[in-house]
């Protein structure tokens, strides 16, 4: 029972938070309006995610950068294009949410965790994490300009008259809310014994980071719930549109993961690097996406639903994929001639 709880507590809590946010949105309507609260959660979570990450043992992956470059290209280059194509099959906030989900960087923790769990090269996953998150203040705004620019007003400089999204404002916000907390987390490791303490307590710090993510999901769902309550009946999303969105999002993630596996095998890369490319190339961070959505897409609150769906989907699907890699390796070992004698 304890092992089941440890594995699935976040998914259960995520479901509870989503239901609570929608159900009690009128009573909690003041929370999404507290910008200081939202930014504090984002900064704290990203610091907690970056603090335990030890980047000192990445020299081998840096010396052989092909796998990391391929995973980065898939995550930050191909996946946003695939998402834009997929988003044409839906509309409104769901289309924006799919594009927003694809434009954000790789996860700060789970890509490396799932890679390590499946027996892959987690150093490759960490490099993808570093590169995509470090450059997100440049890459993400311009992907959103291309993929959502026809649906909302996007300007280079802040323009109150247009009431749209400003590229400069988003870049500045991502620099302050993403880059600085990550940098602070790594600099904190230079304090004597701090790095070793963070590494030893990675699991505990991860729990607190996940609680912060749940808080951000709650804020987003409250905004969604309020928007749904105020929508005219003819503009309400249907059950069919929800189902289509879920199929598109889950298919996008799984298809990108399979693409990473297929390309890796075509290039005859080692199995350990194949695993890293599959997970790091297809996983996306929920935290930064929620921060962008609640800051710049306030007129499209339902846009968080594709991101939450993608996050839950990658947790479930990638767990199954990791287990299949483990099972295949065990079968290979058991069937080897040396073991059967």
Using alpha carbons, list the distances in angstroms from residue 245 to 63, 193, 238, 250: 41, 47, 11, 9
What single DSSP character describes residue 104? S
* Residue 158 binned pLDDT confidence (cut-offs 50, 70, 90): low
DSSP-assigned letters across all residues of 289-316: HHHHHHHH-TT-GGGHHHHHHHHHHHHH
**This prediction's pTM:** 0.79
Q: Is 6 exposed, middle or buried (0-12, 13-18, 19+ CB in 10 A)?
A: exposed
Using alpha carbons, list the distances in angstroms from residue 205 to 15, 170, 334: 22, 28, 37
What is the spatial distance between Cα 277 and Cα 341, in angstroms, rounded to a whole number? 35
Residue 250 · residue 44 · CB < 8 Å: no
- Considering only residues 72 and 236, tell me which one the structure prediction assigns the higher pLDDT: 72
Residue-wise pLDDT for 218-254, tens only, equals 887 888 788 778 777 766 778 888 899 999 999 999 9
Residue 5 · residue 207 · CB < 8 Å: no
Residue-wise pLDDT for 78-96, tens only, equals 999 999 999 999 988 899 9
Highest mean pLDDT among 141-145, 187-191, 225-229, 259-263: 259-263
Mean pLDDT of the chain: 83
Phi then psi dihedrals of residue 5, to 5 deg: -65, -45
- Considering only residues 322 and 177, tell me which one the structure prediction assigns the higher pLDDT: 322
Give the mean model confidence (pLDDT) for residues 13-27. 88
Q: How far apart are the first and last CA of the chain?
A: 38
User: What is the pLDDT, as a whole number, of residue 68?
Assistant: 92
Whether pLDDT at 151 is above 60: no
Residue 6 · residue 205 · CB < 8 Å: no
């Amino acid at each position: 029972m304890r092992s089941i709880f440890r594995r699935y507590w976040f998914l259960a809590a995520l479901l509870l938070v989503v239901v609570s946010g929608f159900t009690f949105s009128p009573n909690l309507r003041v929370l999404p309006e507290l910008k200081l609260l939202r930014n504090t959660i984002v900064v704290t979570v990203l610091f907690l995610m970056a603090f335990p990450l030890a980047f000192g043992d990445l020299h081998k992956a840096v010396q052989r950068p092909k796998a990391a470059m391929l995973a980065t290209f898939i995550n930050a280059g191909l996946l946003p294009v695939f998402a834009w194509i997929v988003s044409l099959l839906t509309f409104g906030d769901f289309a924006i949410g799919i594009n927003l989900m694809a434009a954000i960087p790789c996860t700060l923790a789970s890509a490396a965790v799932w890679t390590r769990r499946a027996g892959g090269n987690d150093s490759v996953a960490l490099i993808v994490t570093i590169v995509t998150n470090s450059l997100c203040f440049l890459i993400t705004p311009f992907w959103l300009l291309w993929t959502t620019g026809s649906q909302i007003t996007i300007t280079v400089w802040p323009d109150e008259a247009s009431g749209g999204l400003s590229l400069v404002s988003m870049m500045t916000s991502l620099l302050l809310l993403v880059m600085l907390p990550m940098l602070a987390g790594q600099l904190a490791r230079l304090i004597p014994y701090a790095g070793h303490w963070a590494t030893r307590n990675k699991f505990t710090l991860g729990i607190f980071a996940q609680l912060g993510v749940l808080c951000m999901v709650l804020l987003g769902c409250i905004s969604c719930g309020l928007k749904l309550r105020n929508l005219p009946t003819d503009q309400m999303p249907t059950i069919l549109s929800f189902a289509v969105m879920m199929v598109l999002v889950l298919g996008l993630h799984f298809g990108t993961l399979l693409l990473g596996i297929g390309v890796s095998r075509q290039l005859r890369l080692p199995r350990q690097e194949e695993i890293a490319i599959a997970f790091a190339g297809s996983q996306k961070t929920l935290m930064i996406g929620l921060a962008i959505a609640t800051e710049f897409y306030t007129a499209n609150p339902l846009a968080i639903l594709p991101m939450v769906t993608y996050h839950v989907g990658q947790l479930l699907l990638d767990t199954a994929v990791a287990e299949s890699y483990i099972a295949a390796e065990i079968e290979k070992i058991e069937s080897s001639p040396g073991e059967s004698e």
